[in-house]
Amino acid sequence: MSKKTNNEKLTIFALGGVGEIGKNMYVIQYGNDIVVIDSGLKFPEEDMLGIDIVIPDISYLTENRDKVRAIILTHGHEDHIGGLPYVLKHLNVPVYGTKLTIGLVENKLKEANLLGETKRILINEDSELKLGNTLTATFFRTNHSIPDSVGVCVATPEGNVVHTGDFKFDHTPVNGEFANLQRMAEIGSKGVLALLSDSTNAEKPGFTPSERNVGIVLEDIFRKATQRVVVATFASNVHRIQQVVNAAAATGRKITVIGRSMVNVVGIASDLGYLDIPDGMIIEPEEVNKMAADRVVILSTGSQGEPMSALTRMARSTHRKVDILPGDTVIIAATPVPGNEKYIGRTIDELFRLGANVIYSGSNSGVHVSGHGSQEELKLMLNLMKPKFFIPIHGEHRMQRKHALLGEAVGIAPEDIFMIDIGDTVEIQGGVARKAGKVTSGNVLIDGLGVGDVGNIVLRDRKLLSQDGILVVVVTLSKQDGQIVSGPDIISRGFVYVRESEGLLDEANRIVTSTLQRLMSERVNEWASLKTSVKDSLGRFLYEQTRRRPMILPIIMEV
Amino acid sequence: MSKKTNNEKLTIFALGGVGEIGKNMYVIQYGNDIVVIDSGLKFPEEDMLGIDIVIPDISYLTENRDKVRAIILTHGHEDHIGGLPYVLKHLNVPVYGTKLTIGLVENKLKEANLLGETKRILINEDSELKLGNTLTATFFRTNHSIPDSVGVCVATPEGNVVHTGDFKFDHTPVNGEFANLQRMAEIGSKGVLALLSDSTNAEKPGFTPSERNVGIVLEDIFRKATQRVVVATFASNVHRIQQVVNAAAATGRKITVIGRSMVNVVGIASDLGYLDIPDGMIIEPEEVNKMAADRVVILSTGSQGEPMSALTRMARSTHRKVDILPGDTVIIAATPVPGNEKYIGRTIDELFRLGANVIYSGSNSGVHVSGHGSQEELKLMLNLMKPKFFIPIHGEHRMQRKHALLGEAVGIAPEDIFMIDIGDTVEIQGGVARKAGKVTSGNVLIDGLGVGDVGNIVLRDRKLLSQDGILVVVVTLSKQDGQIVSGPDIISRGFVYVRESEGLLDEANRIVTSTLQRLMSERVNEWASLKTSVKDSLGRFLYEQTRRRPMILPIIMEV
């Protein structure tokens, strides 16, 4: 299929998605042809204060823009498509994806005013894409917590590189779309040079249960509930939403949809035929209060306890349209993403306090299953593909490591398994693979409209400010004789209650004054020295008195 | 035992420990006699920026100081004894506890210079304490993740109030100290008016496994490890430490102890006879490198990934004495406390990167069991005690709620179960219980040496500062004519990289200048108006340009 070019080599690396959960972006390059798989975002780590989202550093791609043939999307989750609006601003490349994925992408590009200039190409499982002179991409259907997910096989002159996308094996899929085991087996029997496979659940033994199990539990809860039922889940989990619809239909309830992303996804997925909703089933939130309580389902965002989400606002009784009433049943059909445990716990507590019966995954309730395959499924994928080389991707380092052990367990030699961090390249030439150098990679932090203008110094300052606040010390000196004309004035924020700490701040003022007077008598008049001395003497005093280290910002004015 | 005083009533409430995990403090009052059970601290929530620890508001106790007869401690965990140094400063009351508990308390009081003035009284399971005129306390041994844990039975003229402390039922306890089922059954058969019971694991079905199971797993890992073994666990888990000692002895390894709290607890527990360590087993950290790798165990703090802990420093290769070498086995014998998942995950990743084999609880490894009883054990306690009234304590609201359902399941009437928040009082008189008013309660935040001097305004400022930083705008005006003499100068911290945003800050400067000039031409010269206008115009400009809302601090000097 692909012609072999002499002396060229195959290079595989990740710009995001390894050593982390999020901002997935993988690169396959052969000579002058580059294919990018996925373009995701990551939500900020807890030490990235004030940051909204994180995307990969794509310097390598912009420096090689002439070679980039395609961005192929495996599915429509934010950690796979959320970085596109930022990436496409710097790299106008055709974007390939299945119908639902492209539908979700178009919604994003519209908001970013990039729809017109971006070439979008629909693919399906049977598509074959010629990409540049040397690469050909084909696809295989997988099961995941969003419909229309695919894995990618990129044929290169060195051999086939398979990227699984996110997957599980669901033998009773909600939409009847089975993972294409036959296609995977066929790819495997033709020969796979390198497999890049999803490590998310590599720590979990056994099999991940079928999404259909959740439907059975939901219908049972709907049937027993004597009042309204609220279901919060990820907006993108179209299968789950379909099962909520089915359970509502089976129990004679109508559904109202609240939360911006839920309204969006339900709209797009229905329009594109991925959701089958009976006519008249969806009602407006305003109609809820007019209906009998046992005829209503409220489908909502907020399954992670996000502070601004619909469920959180209902829990705090601050939602404009829907209140939680005593006796309502609230189903939180999701597990907390690490870091969100406290938020979701607080939401559950608040719902209980309102008198709701809350059903959540912590209590073994069966209202959620993962979209990622567990250890037995990961081994099944490895055995279907029988790769020569194996690169665990999509996970924190420990998950990649566990996945590597599964690779060894099914018989791949340890030296043929490559543990990579972002930027680490694996080069394959003449059937020999080795870890080569690093390409530029990293986190680009997005804060408001700023892309990459917040870095370590700004974050360090935010961290300092968040711990003990700031004291601003202002003093005006005379140009003539360098004497104090006005001040020192000390203003604090985030340090102590000023009213209760007047004595402390008065004393601080005296210390600054005497420090300045001493320096002047010693004829020190460089501002840098004055500022350093004020910082040191005041910092020492405050630490002794309070054991705190606020940021101290001395400002000297001259008149 | 206790004489009935007419017209008096029994009041039960919590100053901490309900609606939260941490700062346990329960109050039982009959007439002029108050008994306090436990005096814990809580670690700050994620929105309590810069706060070190949190203790209960004890206004009720200081206002009724003459009535407080005792602080009884159920066991030596921080969430039960950690608030003592702060409480005892305001309330000099005798402290009662078992030998290990008092040993740990004395260590704390020494550091706080409170040892001399605090009366400490050792109790054991057979102690009987007359407290004031009306109350008598007796005890029963429980199993928990620290030895010498007890439950308390307070006899009052209204009847017996039982507080379980933290407990599980471990039928094969490591130290051979069984929970005293007979004593509990006896209390139950004499009649329990009200039961206050531990709700921590009320969401978990089944039984919590025996601590002894961990010992078997540890010995197996020690035996298979070909190099050094590092075990990180909670310092206070003396049973776990004993099992590390046993496994080391069985496999011919010596132990070195690192991390301040681990060294402390091992010292105290050995001195008091709670740890049985063979002579010559403990070696200094300096000796580790001289020994064969398969003869060494390193017992360490840091099982929660705490940034300054010994394990975290080893993982980052910044520990002064001990390095992790490729092939070492690291056992993290703990589950993450909610909120710590990311920290511990990062530590695990770093250890893997150093080439260690990391065994942690996420991977079903059997290296940790909980110290709190699961649903079947909670029901067993309820059935042993057969209380008339039931108050679920020690847990988040949702855990108390699940515990209440367990109470209903064993036959307690819903109206006899009391869901309380901190400060909510339950009054019992003539055998009738009702929810009465609230007493003063809340969080006292400790930041450095400051106790309670950081409140909502300071925390709100810290939050604001942490999100988008601060801009300080300084301008000097003339006293004579109100004209600008110097400035405006704008200094930012935690907002943007100044070097890359010169244009933005220059423009900000022009906006401040023109705002001031406009106001002066309109003869506005109140400082408050000037400041508000500068804040508004600059804030609007910055939000338009950056979509960020830094704190803006205008400072006007006059010369």
pLDDT at B80: 98
| SS3 letters across A472-483 | EEEEEECCCCCC
More confident residue, B527 or B155: B155
pLDDT at B502: 77
pLDDT at B2: 47
Report residue A465 as tokens.
């400010």
Q: Which candidate, A251, A260, A200, A202, places its Cα nearest to that of A225?
A: A251
Report residue B371 as tokens.
């110290």
pLDDT at B70: 98
Q: Is B373 annotated as a binding residue?
A: no
> Contacts of residue A559 in chain B, CB cutoff 8 Å?
476, 485-486, 559
Query: Quick one: DSSP state of residue B44?
Result: P
Whether B4 has a pLDDT exceeding 60, the answer reads: no
Q: Which candidate, B323, B318, B276, B315, places its Cα nearest to that of B296?
A: B323
Query: Quick one: DSSP state of residue A42?
Result: B
Domain assignments of chain A as residue spans, ordered by start: 10-206+370-439, 211-363, 456-558
Residues whose CB falls within 8 Å of the CB of residue B196, separated by 6 or more in sequence, listed in order: B12, B26, B161, B162, B163, B164, B391, B392, B393
> Contacts of residue B480 in chain A, CB cutoff 8 Å?
none
More confident residue, A331 or A2: A331
State which residue of chain A sits closest to B450, comparing Cα positions: A546
pLDDT at A202: 96
Q: Is A319 annotated as a binding residue?
A: no
pLDDT at A478: 84
Contact A555 B489 (CB under 8 A): yes
Question: Please, which pLDDT band fits residue A476 given cuts at 50, 70 and 90?
Answer: confident
Question: Please, which pLDDT band fits residue A363 given cuts at 50, 70 and 90?
Answer: low
CA distance B182 to B163: 17
- Return the CATH fold of A456-558: Ubiquitin-like (UB roll) (3.10.20)
Contact A397 B349 (CB under 8 A): yes
Interval B371-421: pLDDT, tens: 999 999 999 999 999 999 999 999 999 999 999 999 999 999 999 999 999
CB contact at 8 A, A496 and A506: no
Contact B50 A466 (CB under 8 A): yes
Whether A1 has a pLDDT exceeding 80, the answer reads: no
CA distance A281 to B272: 70
State which residue of chain B sits closest to A350, comparing Cα positions: B397
CA distance B465 to B473: 15
CA distance A101 to A123: 10
Report residue B229 as tokens.
């073994």
pLDDT at A362: 67
CA distance A552 to A546: 14
CA distance A138 to A124: 9
For A429-434, the CB contacts below 8 A with 24+ separation are A429/A8, A429/A9, A429/A10, A429/A158, A430/A158, A431/A158, A431/A159, A431/A193, A431/A388, A433/A194, A433/A388, A433/A389
CB contact at 8 A, A73 and A105: yes
Q: In CATH, which superfamily holds the domain spanning A10-206+370-439?
A: Ribonuclease Z/Hydroxyacylglutathione hydrolase-like (3.60.15.10)
**A204 to chain B nearest CA, in Å?**
7
State which residue of chain B sits closest to A552, comparing Cα positions: B493
Q: Is A90 annotated as a binding residue?
A: no
| SS3 letters across A46-61 | CCCCCCCEEEECCHHH
Nearest to A500 among B362, B453, B466 (CB): B453
Active site residues of B: 198, 372
Whether B3 has a pLDDT exceeding 60, the answer reads: no
Sign of CA dihedral B362, B364, B365, B370: positive
Q: Is B370 annotated as a binding residue?
A: yes
Q: Is B371 annotated as a binding residue?
A: yes
* Amino acid of residue A133: N
The answer to whether domain B10-206+370-451 has CATH 3.60.15.10 is yes
Residue B21 near chain A (CB below 8 Å): no
**B108 to chain A nearest CA, in Å?**
19
Question: Please, which pLDDT band fits residue A525 given cuts at 50, 70 and 90?
Answer: confident
Nearest to B398 among A352, A396, A495 (CB): A352
Nearest to B398 among A341, A349, A449 (CB): A349
pLDDT at B455: 83
Mean pLDDT of A321-339: 91
> Contacts of residue A501 in chain B, CB cutoff 8 Å?
453
pLDDT at A147: 96
Contact B352 A401 (CB under 8 A): yes
Inter-axis angle of helices A397-409 and A375-385, nearest 10: 60
CB contact at 8 A, B289 and B325: no
Token pair 């055709």 is at which residue? A94
Count each helix (H run) and each strand (E run) in chain A, helices first: 15, 26
* Amino acid of residue A374: S
Residues whose CB falls within 8 Å of the CB of residue B522, separated by 6 or more in sequence, listed in order: none
Question: Please, which pLDDT band fits residue A498 given cuts at 50, 70 and 90?
Answer: low
pLDDT at B25: 98
**B131 to chain A nearest CA, in Å?**
36
pLDDT at B524: 74
Whether B500 has a pLDDT exceeding 80, the answer reads: no
Contact A342 B339 (CB under 8 A): yes
Pick the residue of B357, B406, B466, B553 with the most A CBs within 10 A to test the interface with A by mutation: B466
**Torsion angle of C-alpha atoms B355, B357, B363, B368, degrees rounded to 10:** -130
Interval B201-245: pLDDT, tens: 999 999 999 999 999 999 999 999 999 999 999 999 999 999 999
| SS3 letters across A275-324 | CCCCCCCEECHHHHHHCCHHHEEEEECCCCCCCCCHHHHHHCCCCCCCCC
Contact B465 A358 (CB under 8 A): no
Mean pLDDT of A50-60: 95
Predicted complex ipTM:
0.88
pLDDT at B521: 82
DSSP B139-180: EEE-B-SSSS-EEEEEEETTEEEEE--S-B--SS-TTS----
Question: Please, which pLDDT band fits residue B523 given cuts at 50, 70 and 90?
Answer: confident
Q: In CATH, which superfamily holds the domain spanning B211-363?
A: Metallo-hydrolase/oxidoreductase (3.40.50.10710)
pLDDT at B499: 67
Provide the CA A15 distance to its chain's centre, in angstroms. Answer: 15
Interval B246-267: pLDDT, tens: 999 999 999 999 999 999 999 9
CA distance B463 to B469: 9
Q: Which candidate, A347, A394, A348, places its Cα nearest to that of A373?
A: A394
Nearest to B476 among A465, A546, A559 (CB): A559
Residues whose CB falls within 8 Å of the CB of residue B40, separated by 6 or more in sequence, listed in order: B16, B17, B22, B23, B24, B25, B55, B77, B78, B79, B80, B81, B82, B83
Q: Is A300 annotated as a binding residue?
A: no
Question: Please, which pLDDT band fits residue A341 given cuts at 50, 70 and 90?
Answer: confident
pLDDT at B486: 83
Residue A493 near chain B (CB below 8 Å): yes
Q: Which candidate, A87, A27, A84, places its Cα nearest to that of A62?
A: A87
Mean pLDDT of B339-355: 92
Mean pLDDT of B85-90: 95
Angle value at C-alpha A440, between A438 and A442, nearest 5 degrees: 110
Strands A33-37, A25-30: pairing kind: antiparallel
Identify any residues that bridge with B395 across adjacent strands, giving them in sequence order: B18, B20
Interval B68-84: pLDDT, tens: 999 999 999 999 999 99
Flag whether the pTM goes above 0.95: no
Residues 494-553 of chain A whose Cβ lies under 8 A from any Cβ of chain B: 494-497, 500-501, 545-548, 551, 553
Contact A469 B50 (CB under 8 A): yes
Contact A453 B501 (CB under 8 A): yes
pLDDT at B484: 86
CA distance A121 to A178: 24
Question: Please, which pLDDT band fits residue A456 given cuts at 50, 70 and 90?
Answer: confident
Whether A500 has a pLDDT exceeding 80, the answer reads: no
List Cα–Cα distances, A215 to A246, A296, B100, B273, in angstroms: 8, 17, 52, 56
Contact B449 A551 (CB under 8 A): no
Mean pLDDT of B331-359: 92
Angle value at C-alpha B405, between B401 and B409, nearest 5 degrees: 165
Count each helix (H run) and each strand (E run) in chain B, helices first: 15, 26
pLDDT at B476: 87
Token pair 């790798």 is at which residue? B293
Interval A396-418: pLDDT, tens: 999 999 999 999 999 999 999 99
> Contacts of residue B546 in chain A, CB cutoff 8 Å?
447-450
> Contacts of residue A557 in chain B, CB cutoff 8 Å?
474, 476, 486-487, 489, 557
Contact B559 A454 (CB under 8 A): no
Give the SS3 label for residue A16.
strand
Interval A117-137: pLDDT, tens: 999 999 999 999 999 999 999
**A446 to chain B nearest CA, in Å?**
11
pLDDT at B517: 87
CA distance A29 to A10: 6
Query: Quick one: DSSP state of residue B428?
Result: E
Among A203-217, A286-300, A475-489, B318-332, where is mean pLDDT lowest? A475-489
Residues 326-345 of chain A whose Cβ lies under 8 A from any Cβ of chain B: 338-339, 341-342, 345
pLDDT at A339: 80
CA distance A87 to A320: 36
CB contact at 8 A, B407 and B399: no
Mean pLDDT of B73-96: 96
Sheet holding A159-163, edge to edge: A129-131, A135-141, A150-156, A159-163, A192-198, A387-393
Residue A352 near chain B (CB below 8 Å): yes
Residues 458-477 of chain B whose Cβ lies under 8 A from any Cβ of chain A: 458-459, 461-470, 472, 474, 476
Token pair 């969806």 is at which residue? A282
Active site residues of A: 198, 372
**B211 to chain A nearest CA, in Å?**
23
What percent of chain A has pLDDT above 70?
98
Contact A349 B205 (CB under 8 A): no
Q: Which candidate, A519, A557, A551, A523, places its Cα nearest to that of A538?
A: A551
What percent of chain B has pLDDT above 90?
83
Nearest to A349 among B49, B396, B558 (CB): B396
**B470 to chain A nearest CA, in Å?**
9
Report residue B357 as tokens.
């084999």
CA distance A471 to A542: 10
Whether A6 has a pLDDT exceeding 80, the answer reads: no
pLDDT at B362: 67
Looking at every residue in chain B, the average pLDDT score rounds to 93
Contact A450 B46 (CB under 8 A): no
CA-based end-to-end distance of chain A = 78
Interval A63-93: pLDDT, tens: 999 999 999 999 999 999 999 999 999 999 9
A50-66 b/e with 16+ CB inside 10 Å = b?
Answer: bbbbbbbbbebbeeeee
Nearest to A364 among B205, B474, B485 (CB): B205
Largest CA distance in chain B: 88
CA distance B207 to B202: 11
Q: Which candidate, A384, A457, A396, places its Cα nearest to that of A422?
A: A396
Mean pLDDT of B123-145: 97
Looking at every residue in chain A, the average pLDDT score rounds to 93
Residue B355 near chain A (CB below 8 Å): no
Contact B402 A468 (CB under 8 A): no
CA distance A312 to A318: 9
* Amino acid of residue A123: I
Nearest to A486 among B465, B489, B557 (CB): B557
Nearest to A342 among B46, B487, B495 (CB): B46
State which residue of chain A sits closest to B494, comparing Cα positions: A458
